[in-house]
Amino acid sequence: MGTSHPRHERAATPHAGGDLTGHQRVQKVLAARVAVDGRPATLGDKADPRQSVITVDGERIPTNPDLVYWLLNKPRDVVTTADDPQGRPTVVELVPAHPRVYPVGRLDRDTEGLLLLTNDGELAHRLAHPSFEVPKTYVARVRGVPSKARLGQLTTGVELNDGQARAVSARVTGTSNEEALVEVSVVDGRKREVRRLLGAVDLRVQRLARVRLGPLELGTIAQGKFRPLTSQEVGALYAAVGLDRQQGGHPR
């Protein structure tokens, strides 16, 4: 694309992986950032959360059953699951192993961007369930430049193989040559929903990244990196789904 990329596109740009396998790339990230009792972490490491000192970028993280919230910029070719029977790299391998956390919702293997991982079960349920109507916003790079009429079809509604679906909003945020960046927000969270919505109006997706989850923004965090949510961000998520933070969540 040209110079019209939004700032989110920079955060969604993959790093060169060279000849490393997915697991080797994950291991490289862990060894550089995560330490258990002062030693670089490796895949498969186990630690007693009541006794071990676990640090990320030199900062100690809670090692008791307290609630934790990680914002991850998920790379492509990493699966959104806690365990993969095929042995592919998973998103939970990119964050500290203790306390145990789970991804909120799902990003397809070939979709990148914002993913929240937490052990706050009630918050995770509400953020993922369509009845709470939390918008998930994506930026898609597509072939061609869609007209306003075509984007209007997305918000009016299109027929998919599992029923009627529509976007909350859809707009072009940048163009270059024969491509465009299209920002699409949805609340349903169906499987590959954004790709299928765009495909239904003859827009071929070349790349897709999630940039927002409700009030939470991806920002400029690099791909494959993660950070803890701030207290303000956690509070905003609680407010978005009608939870009283004073009552507190419960570890999953």
Residues 123 and 222 in one domain: yes
Spatial distance between the Cα atoms of 157 and 165, rounded to a whole number of angstroms:
5
Phi, psi of 245 (to 5 degrees): -65, -25
143 neighbors 206 (Cβ within 8 angstroms): yes
Total H helices, total E strands in the chain? 6, 15
- C-alpha distance from residue 182 to each of 15, 144, 164, 236 (Å): 23, 11, 21, 26
Tokens standing for 156? 């009016």
- Domain annotation covers residue 226: yes
Structurally, how many domains does the chain consist of?
Answer: 2
In this prediction, residue 175 carries a pLDDT of 93
First-to-last C-alpha distance (Å) of the chain: 42
In this prediction, residue 2 carries a pLDDT of 46
Sign of the Cα pseudo-torsion (136, 137, 138, 143, in order): positive
- C-alpha distance from residue 56 to each of 12, 37, 40, 51, 90 (Å): 22, 11, 10, 16, 19
Residues 33 and 57 in one domain: yes
In this prediction, residue 115 carries a pLDDT of 98
Per the annotation, the verdict on 108 as an active-site residue is yes
Residues 37 and 77 in one domain: yes
Residues 161 and 52 in one domain: no
- Domain annotation covers residue 2: no
Residues 125 and 167 in one domain: no
Residues 74 and 12 in one domain: yes
- Domain annotation covers residue 25: yes
Tell me the Cα Rg of the chain.
19
Amino acid at 229: L
Residues 141 and 85 in one domain: no
pTM of the model: 0.73
Residue span of the structural domain in which 162 resides: 135-213
For residue 68, the number of C-alpha atoms closer than 13 Å in the C-beta half-sphere is 22
Residues 23 and 119 in one domain: yes
241 neighbors 104 (Cβ within 8 angstroms): no
- Domain annotation covers residue 230: yes
Q: Spot the catalytic one: 45, 77, 108, 188.
A: 108
Residues 13 and 115 in one domain: yes
**Could you read off the pLDDT of 57-97 as tens digits, one per residue?**
776 655 445 899 999 999 999 999 988 899 999 999 999 98
- Domain annotation covers residue 159: yes
Number of Cβ atoms within 10 Å of the Cβ of 198: 25
Residue 71's nearest CA partner among 53, 91, 100 is 91
Residue 165's nearest CA partner among 191, 204, 127, 138 is 191
Q: How confident is the model at residue 148 (pLDDT cuts 50, 70, 90)?
A: very high
**Could you read off the pLDDT of 133-146 as tens digits, one per residue?**
999 999 999 999 99
Residues 176 and 66 in one domain: no
- Domain annotation covers residue 96: yes
Contact residues for 61 (Cβ-Cβ < 8 A; gap 6+): 54, 55, 68, 96, 228
Q: How confident is the model at residue 34 (pLDDT cuts 50, 70, 90)?
A: confident
- Domain annotation covers residue 252: no
Q: Kindly report the CATH number assigned to the domain that includes residue 223.
A: 3.30.70.580
Residues 28 and 94 in one domain: yes
Residues 122 and 172 in one domain: no
Contact residues for 244 (Cβ-Cβ < 8 A; gap 6+): 238
